[in-house]
Amino acid sequence: MQRAVFLDRDGTLNVEREYLSDPEQLTLFPGVPEALRRLQDAGFALFLVTNQSGIGRGYYTEADMHRVHARLGERLEAHGVRFTKIYFAPEAPEQPGRGRKPSPRFLFDARDEFGVDLAQSYMIGDKWSDLECGWNAGVKCSILVRTGYGAETEARLGAPRGPLQVVDHLPAAVDWILGA
């Protein structure tokens, strides 16, 4: 069984831009490519799991999102990093959909398609829905980064429903995972 790290995109890997649809506006946080490389080198499969409600709301197209993901892929490939798969939920929150976080559906899909051991895997994000997604899938730990909406999320946390670690940013999350 494969260990994996499931990653939110906006606010976790890159600077939060409301409804990011222009690849030129993609700005990775410092240390993100190197941190992802460390995970990959340690044997973790990397999956992107992202809600993209701007598509369902009509703010941008699925093609726009794919262009942003292509740019993200280019930036990461320069460091030898590659996602095993990118999962995205294009629905607006009020629209029916199968994978929109906090649904664990995409994590279950990765388990079934790639042999991921969810009990030895992690979910990293900056919103409550990211944390819940991990808990709903039974990951080893959900990790909240304080980037993006993370500090705001931390201030409203309440009682977590599962294992939780809070860190400043993605490189610190990777330090914690590799030291855990």
Residue range 6-21: average pLDDT? 97
111 CB contacts (<8 Å, ≥6 apart)? Answer: 117, 118, 137
Q: Partners of 14 in the beta sheet?
A: 10, 28
Q: What is the pLDDT of residues 63-116, one digit of tens each?
A: 999 999 999 999 999 999 999 999 999 999 999 999 999 999 999 999 999 999
Residue 178 has pLDDT above 90, yes or no: yes
Q: If pLDDT is split at 50, 70 and 90, which confidence band does 158 have? A: confident
**CATH class of residue range 4-179:** alpha beta
Q: Please provide residue 38's backbone torsions phi and psi, each rounded to the nearest 5 degrees.
A: -60, -40
What integer best gives the mean pLDDT of the chain? 97
Options 10, 64, 126, 130, the catalytic residue: 10
Percent of the chain having pLDDT more than 90?
94
Whether 117 is catalytic is no
Question: Got the DSSP string for 1-59?
Answer: -B-EEEE--BTTTB---TT---GGG--BPTTHHHHHHHHHHTT-EEEEEEE-HHHHTTS
Q: Which amino acid is at 87?
A: Y
Whether 10 is catalytic is yes
- Report the pLDDT value the prediction gives residue 160, as an integer from 0 to 100: 85
Domain boundaries in the chain?
4-179
Burial 59-77 (b: 16+ CB within 10 A, else e): ebeeebbebbbebbeebbe
